[in-house]
């Protein structure tokens, strides 16, 4: 499914979990890494501007639909895709890692959050091996030499699958850099997913997500940080819907 971000085209390349599971399993068995991004309206807004985020997205091996507006656009274009937010991919990917004997790494947030998330994951996914946890300092630059040291440290620890919980665009930029520096590691950008697991943030209840109102839950939880972001995203939504309709 193709989306337009200004003068730039972006594709959702994964139609659903069965396809993603097959592709990731193939990478694990071949000893190859990957970069996984989850596309939402905020990303499309950011991708309108040329720069590191756009370059990083072009380096992603897999892109899923993160957010109901992306799914709605795909349906309008008669190219349906499954809703696969980063937070919902954590446990399935962990179970796949156990099946394929793949060690896990966690990068992002705070030490407390990473510890809490690691405990929650081990409890929910027996046999999971978490061999590295890294909380980068404030002001961390994902395109710096310090980023390379983190990536090399993950490789030295034996990590083969790494969850990046740094927020956009840092996590996608770090994943793209990781593809070059440590090509044997698979990187999945999951936003606030680890904070949800650790209890540092509270995710919208299932019934709120079922009626496609998680965005409102998040907005009311942190209006100062999210109001402008969501306003810009919804400003662009009618154009995305119209272009999707024309793709039919």
Domain count, the chain: 1
CB-neighbour burial class of residue 239 (10 A; exposed 0-12, middle 13-18, buried 19+): exposed
| Structure confidence by residue, pLDDT tens digits, 18-67 | 999 999 999 999 999 999 999 999 999 999 999 999 999 999 999 999 98
CATH of the domain at 13: 3.40.50.2300
Instruction: Please tell me the predicted confidence (pLDDT) of residue 214.
Output: 84
151-162 tens-digit pLDDT: 999 999 999 999
Q: Is 2 helix (H, G, I), strand (E, B) or coil?
A: strand
Strand pairing partners for 3?
A: 10
Burial (CB count within 10 angstroms: exposed 0-12, middle 13-18, buried 19+), residue 52? middle
Model confidence, pTM: 0.95
Full domain range(s) for residue 15: 2-246
For 195-213, how does the pLDDT look when each residue is reduced to its tens digit (9 = 90+)? 999 998 888 788 878 877 7
Record the tokens describing residue 3, joined without a space: 């989306």
């Amino acid at each position: 499914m193709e989306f337009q971000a200004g003068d730039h085209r972006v594709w959702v390349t994964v139609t659903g979990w069965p396809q993603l599971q097959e592709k990731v399993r193939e990478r694990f068995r071949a000893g190859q890494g990957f970069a996984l991004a989850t596309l939402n309206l905020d990303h499309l807004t950011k991708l309108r501007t040329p720069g590191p985020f756009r370059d990083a997205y072009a380096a992603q091996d897999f892109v899923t639909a993160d957010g109901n507006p992306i799914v709605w656009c795909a349906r309008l274009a008669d190219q349906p895709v499954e809703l696969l937010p980063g937070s919902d991919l954590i446990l399935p990917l962990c179970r796949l890692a156990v099946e394929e004997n793949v060690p896990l790494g966690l990068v992002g947030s705070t030490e407390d959050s990473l510890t809490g998330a690691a405990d929650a994951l081990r409890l929910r996914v027996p046999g999971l091996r978490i061999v590295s946890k890294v909380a980068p300092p404030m002001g961390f630059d994902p395109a710096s030499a310090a980023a390379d040291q983190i990536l090399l440290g993950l490789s030295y620890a034996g990590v083969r699958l790494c969850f990046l919980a740094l927020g956009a665009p840092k996590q996608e930029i770090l994943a793209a850099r990781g593809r070059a520096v440590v090509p044997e590691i698979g990187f999945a950008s999951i936003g606030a997913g680890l904070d949800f697991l650790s209890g540092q943030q509270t995710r919208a209840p299932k019934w709120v997500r079922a009626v496609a109102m998680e965005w409102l839950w998040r907005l009311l939880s942190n209006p100062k940080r999210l109001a402008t972001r969501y306003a810009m995203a919804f400003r662009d939504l009618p154009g995305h819907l119209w272009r999707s309709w024309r793709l039919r």
